Chain A
Amino acid sequence: MTKPPAWRRYLRFWRSNIAEDVDDELRFHVEMRVQEYLARGMSEYEARRAVTARLGDVDAARAECVELGKVRETHARNADLLDGVRADVRYALRSLGRAPGWTAVALLTIALGVGATTTVFSVADTLLVRPFPYPGASRVYMARRQFGVNGATVPVGLPFGMANEWRAHARTIEAATLVGSAGSSRLSAGADTITVQVARVDPYFLAFAGARPLAGRAPRANEIHDDGPGAILLTEDFWRREYGASTDVVGRTMRLGDRSVSIAGVVPASLSIPDFRAERADVLELVSPSAMINGPVLVRLAPGVSPARATAELDAIMQHANLRDVRPVPMAMPLRLTRPQDWLAIRQPLVMLTGAVALLLLVACTNIAHLLLARGATRQRELAVRHALGAGRPRLLRQLVTESLLLAVLGGALASFVGWAGLRLLRALRPAGRDFVALSYVSTDHRLLSIAAVIAIVCGLAIGLLAALRIAHRDLGASLRAGASSMLVAGRRLRSSLVVAEVALSATLLVGALLLIHAVFDLQRADLGFDARGLYGVSLSMPRGMPPAERTAAVEGLRDRLAAAPGVSSAIQTGRVPGGPGFTAIAAYETPEHPLSPQEANGGTELYDVPPEYFAMMRMPLLAGRTFDGGSRAANEVVVSRSLARQISPDGNVVGRRFRNAVSRSRGPDEPWQTVIGIVPDVITSLTSHDVDAQLYRPLVTTGPGSGGNASLLVRLSGPDAVTRLRQLVAPASPGNTPAEIVNVRDRIEASLAEPLFVMRILAAFAALGVALAAIGLFGVISYSVGQRTREIGVRMTLGATRASIARLVIGDGIRLALAGVVIGLLGAGAATRLVQNLLYGVSRFDPFSFGLGSVVLLAVAFVACVVPTLRATGVDPVVAVRAE
């Protein structure tokens, strides 16, 4: 179809009466025919009759013509609309293309702002908002107990077999399943051994999660026993990777750790393993519902039951069940039902990052608003001309909104790419082995795209409309008249407040990032209380049933070989490696003079069984008293850390004093008194958690029934490739199936920094982006105002103003705006950081370093942003400037 010329569409404005047109056309026909017949000599009456006869059913014809006319009009209107949009888009593209620099900055701003938001929102959407993909997901809760220590809330597992009791007796729940913590273990078939991640679940788990095995079958509850051979399920990914998706593996017998297991089946990749979605498990080990596993129980509430009602019933059943407890302490440990995702350690940092990225998005939006206004101001003339040529205000408005929407769509496309890349980057940078593994569950699919699209379009539309209204609202005629600068003042004020807002938002972001950087910096330099240089822990896992004498010989043999090896300065056996796993006692310390009730427990104490030479090896100074000797064990002599000494007696002067743990005493009445023989400094074994800072050292027993299943050695190395040598020495000495674990003590303690470091890096990136955007905004405003005031500057210079005073004028403007922004931003930061206090690990949220540095950085950046406009202002040639207008 040929396109009618554009002007044609205006015809219909005064020619839209279809019925009249049809009548006109038919009337014309009749008149012509009548004239023809008259010319042939008929009388007027005859002619009219003949014409009417020839026409036939004229009413039907007329009706059909009108109907067709209406159809055509609808088509035309749609085509016009499409035409108009197409013209608008074409015009918008052209006008964006005319200002490539401006367009690039605007697109980059949208891409980065919306892209970063998309990344964080996708993560938050998956990990915080969307529940586990289980049937009746909105009714799935995780049951745990918790108790408070030193103001911190510690989650505790349930008594063993709780899931069974609830399944049998609770009416408020539909289903319950025990899920255990995952760990790494060795899976071997013959000589072939690989390390696998194991999650433990009871046989009810698959039905609970609504999953069916891909191959094989899920064992029933009565087929699972915790002693003897066990059963495992492979996850699909692991099955494909290791066994090429062969169904032959089902039924095969293997060894998992030191247990014989058979492969019962394969579970689909879509099954979410509930270890807080933290580890991607390779293997599900099936355990009986009453297994001694310190894990939570997942429950699905019956429809219509409130969590509070379920909690009450489940708690009552738990109190009366009289089951063996994971942690027998005489303290109230209320049952809590929480949403599974609430246990994610990533939760709070993620909430904070969501807040931070929202600030960043605001900065980006402000910047775009800015850019649009600045552009609107320079296009004032163009718009005024188009207005004068007949383009109505609504038409111009539509044009401007089209432009910002087009910008939003293009920017959104870039942003979804940035968001996708950001997610990939987050995954690549995520700390290993922590809760952040959950990041790998975040999908990069259409959800991400739609998040990006929604953010971009909503922001684009809102800002575009605002800016367009602002621009089109002005007296368009006025800008045609030369020197109409009075109306520019109002625009400048709006743009100035936008810049202040931008600087304020980025100041808040920057101060937040600096606070976290300060916190991490402090943590990294924390004094551990011992010398960790070259210190390695070696953990040997002893096979079950190994005779004690053999075990002792193996461990001592290795210790002596290590001690004699070159590059090893000392090697000792110890019951626990600092920072490693071990027993923590909940304690209320009483003395013979000052008895305590077990309910007065106010903290945990790490228990260390160590040989006499431990303190020298760790290079821990003995603050008072002496260390162990041969008779220490029999005399119940202990060494305590400084905090523990203060818990026993406020003056900390406790050498020679007797004490015991009231909590232990409440369990066994003949809990002996212990005598303090020495005091050593506190040792920091987790940089981020100070829940436990007291240590109790007892003499190590290396022989007899008291020596545990695992043995640890502590080795101090020197020299460059000492670690390699250590590995070579340890590997052949490891008894059983499980290899020895070698860890750097410092690294293990610093591993707790991975999370704050990760969050800090992201926040720092956001802050940098925010500051950059604010700088662009400031630069834009100052440049613009210099451009507007060229004449004024020219006049000033003619009247004798020096270049220095002009520079002061321009930079003063910029700094004034930045200063206002910084002040507001600091106030904002002071309020916002209240929400993230416990992510700061002891750094005050009013930390003067962070606030001070943040202000200085922003003011410096503001100064730099003003340099180019200032140079331009001082370069104004007064003669040219004054004559130009």
Chain B
Amino acid sequence: MADSNVEVLRGTLDLLILKAVSWGPTHGYAVARWIEQATNDVLQIEEGSLYPALHRLETRGWIDASWGTSENNRRAKFYTLTPKGRAQLRVEAATWTRFAGAVFAALEAPPRPA
């Protein structure tokens, strides 16, 4: 199960990260947790790829990073969505919804007439 999930996630990890940080400063671990919980543990990400993805988004200027203190008083790197990132989130979410709707519609469609 884990292998097929990873493949799906590769293309959508960015979108999920953007969504995860859209409510306010969030550290990497919280992003991972949120993805697990929001997808009812269906999508388990390979956490090694989470951090390069976060850094890529930061380099692109979609998210901004700053060091702060975590809920258990440890130094942690927090990410926030930049306005540019928020716009990107809107675009990608819409694309994904359309794509998923199309695939879903195709799967629900009646069998091809013979």
In the assembly, what is the distance between CA of A553 and CA of B74, in Å? 123
Contacts of A68 in B (CB 8 A): 52, 55-56, 58-59
Q: Return A466 CB to nearest CB of chain B, in Å.
A: 42
Closest to B62 in A: A1
Say if the beta carbon of A54 comes within 8 Å of chain B.
Answer: yes
Contacts of A240 in B (CB 8 A): none
Say if the beta carbon of A795 comes within 8 Å of chain B.
Answer: no
Is B82 a contact of A1 with CB atoms below 8 Å?
yes
Is B48 a contact of A58 with CB atoms below 8 Å?
yes
Contacts of A24 in B (CB 8 A): 75, 77
Say if the beta carbon of B96 comes within 8 Å of chain A.
Answer: no
Closest to A26 in B: B51
Say if the beta carbon of A56 comes within 8 Å of chain B.
Answer: yes
Is B59 a contact of A71 with CB atoms below 8 Å?
yes
Contacts of B48 in A (CB 8 A): 55-58, 60-61
Is B29 a contact of A29 with CB atoms below 8 Å?
yes
Most buried by B among A24, A28, A71: A28
CB contact list, A558-613 vs B, under 8 A: none
Is A61 a contact of B52 with CB atoms below 8 Å?
yes
Other-chain residue from B59, B64, B76, B83 in contact with A25 (beta carbon distance below 8 A): B76
Is B77 a contact of A61 with CB atoms below 8 Å?
no
Give a binary string over A45-66; 1 marks a CB under 8 Å from any B CB, 0 the rest: 0000000001111101110110
Say if the beta carbon of A474 comes within 8 Å of chain B.
Answer: no
Say if the beta carbon of A33 comes within 8 Å of chain B.
Answer: yes
In the assembly, what is the distance between CA of A60 and CA of B53, in Å? 12
In the assembly, what is the distance between CA of A61 and CA of B28, in Å? 13
Contacts of A58 in B (CB 8 A): 48
Is B61 a contact of A1 with CB atoms below 8 Å?
yes
Is B61 a contact of A29 with CB atoms below 8 Å?
no
Contacts of B77 in A (CB 8 A): 21, 24-25, 28
In the assembly, what is the distance between CA of A803 and CA of B47, in Å? 88
Say if the beta carbon of A548 comes within 8 Å of chain B.
Answer: no
Is B52 a contact of A65 with CB atoms below 8 Å?
yes
Contacts of A54 in B (CB 8 A): 44, 46-47
Contacts of B28 in A (CB 8 A): 25, 28-29
Is B84 a contact of A1 with CB atoms below 8 Å?
yes
Is B55 a contact of A28 with CB atoms below 8 Å?
no
Most buried by A among B49, B51, B74: B51
Is A69 a contact of B55 with CB atoms below 8 Å?
yes
Say if the beta carbon of B70 comes within 8 Å of chain A.
Answer: yes
Closest to B44 in A: A54
Q: Return A115 CB to nearest CB of chain B, in Å.
A: 45
Closest to A64 in B: B52
Number of A-B contacts (CB under 8 A): 71
CB contact list, B69-91 vs A, under 8 A: 70, 72, 74-77, 82-84
Is A28 a contact of B75 with CB atoms below 8 Å?
yes
Say if the beta carbon of B32 comes within 8 Å of chain A.
Answer: yes
Is B27 a contact of A28 with CB atoms below 8 Å?
yes
Give a binary string over A1-17; 1 marks a CB under 8 Å from any B CB, 0 the rest: 11010000000000100
Say if the beta carbon of A31 comes within 8 Å of chain B.
Answer: yes
Say if the beta carbon of A327 comes within 8 Å of chain B.
Answer: no
In the assembly, what is the distance between CA of A60 and CA of B29, in Å? 18
Say if the beta carbon of A470 comes within 8 Å of chain B.
Answer: no
Is A28 a contact of B52 with CB atoms below 8 Å?
no
Is A28 a contact of B82 with CB atoms below 8 Å?
no
Say if the beta carbon of A259 comes within 8 Å of chain B.
Answer: no
Say if the beta carbon of A167 comes within 8 Å of chain B.
Answer: no
In the assembly, what is the distance between CA of A4 and CA of B64, in Å? 10
In the assembly, what is the distance between CA of A15 and CA of B48, in Å? 24
Is A55 a contact of B47 with CB atoms below 8 Å?
yes
Other-chain residue from B59, B67, B75 in contact with A72 (beta carbon distance below 8 A): B59
Other-chain residue from A28, A56, A57, A62 in contact with B29 (beta carbon distance below 8 A): A28
Is B76 a contact of A56 with CB atoms below 8 Å?
no
Q: Known: A28-B29, A29-B29, A54-B46. Contact between A2 and B51, CB under 8 A?
A: no
In the assembly, what is the distance between CA of A61 and CA of B50, in Å? 8
In the assembly, what is the distance between CA of A299 and CA of B58, in Å? 70
Closest to B2 in A: A54
Contacts of B49 in A (CB 8 A): 56, 61
Say if the beta carbon of A32 comes within 8 Å of chain B.
Answer: yes
Is A31 a contact of B74 with CB atoms below 8 Å?
yes
Contacts of B83 in A (CB 8 A): 2
Q: Known: A28-B75, A28-B76. Contact between A65 and B51, CB under 8 A?
A: yes
Contacts of B72 in A (CB 8 A): 35
Closest to A65 in B: B55
Contacts of B76 in A (CB 8 A): 25, 28
In the assembly, what is the distance between CA of A57 and CA of B58, in Å? 21
Contacts of A33 in B (CB 8 A): 29, 47
In the assembly, what is the distance between CA of A147 and CA of B51, in Å? 90
Q: Return B67 CB to nearest CB of chain A, in Å.
A: 8
Q: Return B7 CB to nearest CB of chain A, in Å.
A: 14
Is B58 a contact of A72 with CB atoms below 8 Å?
yes
In the assembly, what is the distance between CA of A22 and CA of B52, in Å? 10
Is A56 a contact of B82 with CB atoms below 8 Å?
no
Q: Return A78 CB to nearest CB of chain B, in Å.
A: 14
Contacts of A72 in B (CB 8 A): 55, 58-59
In the assembly, what is the distance between CA of A61 and CA of B58, in Å? 15
CB contact list, A240-271 vs B, under 8 A: none
CB contact list, B16-39 vs A, under 8 A: 27-29, 32
Q: Return A76 CB to nearest CB of chain B, in Å.
A: 11
Q: Return B60 CB to nearest CB of chain A, in Å.
A: 10
In the assembly, what is the distance between CA of A380 and CA of B65, in Å? 41
Is B70 a contact of A28 with CB atoms below 8 Å?
yes
In the assembly, what is the distance between CA of A56 and CA of B49, in Å? 8
In the assembly, what is the distance between CA of A62 and CA of B82, in Å? 24
Contacts of B55 in A (CB 8 A): 64-65, 68-69, 72
In the assembly, what is the distance between CA of A56 and CA of B51, in Å? 12
3 tightest A-B contacts by CB? Answer: A56-B48, A68-B55, A64-B52
Further contacts, 16 of them, CB under 8 A, given A28-B27, A75-B59: A1-B84, A2-B83, A24-B77, A25-B51, A25-B77, A26-B51, A28-B77, A29-B51, A32-B29, A32-B70, A33-B47, A55-B46, A61-B48, A61-B52, A68-B55, A68-B59
A-B residue pairs in contact (CB < 8 Å), sample of 15: A1-B84, A21-B77, A26-B51, A28-B76, A32-B70, A54-B46, A56-B47, A56-B49, A60-B48, A61-B51, A62-B51, A68-B52, A68-B56, A69-B55, A72-B55
